[in-house]
Amino acid sequence: MDLQDQLKNLFPDHEPSPEETIEAVPHELYVQKEPMICKFEKRKGKATTIIEGYAGSDEDFKILAKEIKTKLSVGGTFKDDSIIIQGDYRDKIMEILKIKGFKVKRVGG
């Protein structure tokens, strides 16, 4: 006896309503005119890449941070309106952002 049969036994008068189809709209990131800054820094002796200068919403910036971390398979965080990635990945991050349509400026080193 599956779940539908059990529900019919419990509620004999109930007729299920037709299921609504919800179309998933892909979320589009806000692409700004000013370039984002991609810089290299050493924190506590460890190499880090910092991305700053995004003018869109924080939620969009968090989504972008997650995509970058997933594509590079590295750790990182979103803090104080900047993305902090563990390691020196400036070239790869700049390439990913350019594919998405962002302008990126390399700062330092």
% of the chain surpassing 70 pLDDT: 90
Domain assignment of residue 24, yes or no: no
When pLDDT is cut at 50, 70 and 90, the band that residue 5 belongs to is confident
- On whether residue 76 sits in a domain, the answer given is yes
Is 61 among the domain residues?
Answer: yes
CATH assignment at residue 36? 3.30.780.10
Neighbour-count burial for 62-94, b at 16+ CB within 10 Å, e otherwise: eebbeebbeebeeebebeeebbbbbeebbebbb
What tokens does 77 get? 């965080």
What is the residue range of 89's domain?
Answer: 32-107
C-alpha count within 13 angstroms, C-beta hemisphere, residue 25: 3
pTM: 0.69
- Does 20 reside within a domain? no
What is the per-residue pLDDT for 34? 84
* Residue appearing with tokens 């036994």: 9
How confident is the model at residue 73, as a pLDDT? 94
Res. 69 pLDDT band, cuts 50 70 90: very high
Q: Evaluate whether residue 3 is within a structural domain.
A: no
- pLDDT over 90 percentage in the chain: 41
- For range 22-41, the mean pLDDT: 77
Overall number of domains in the chain: 1
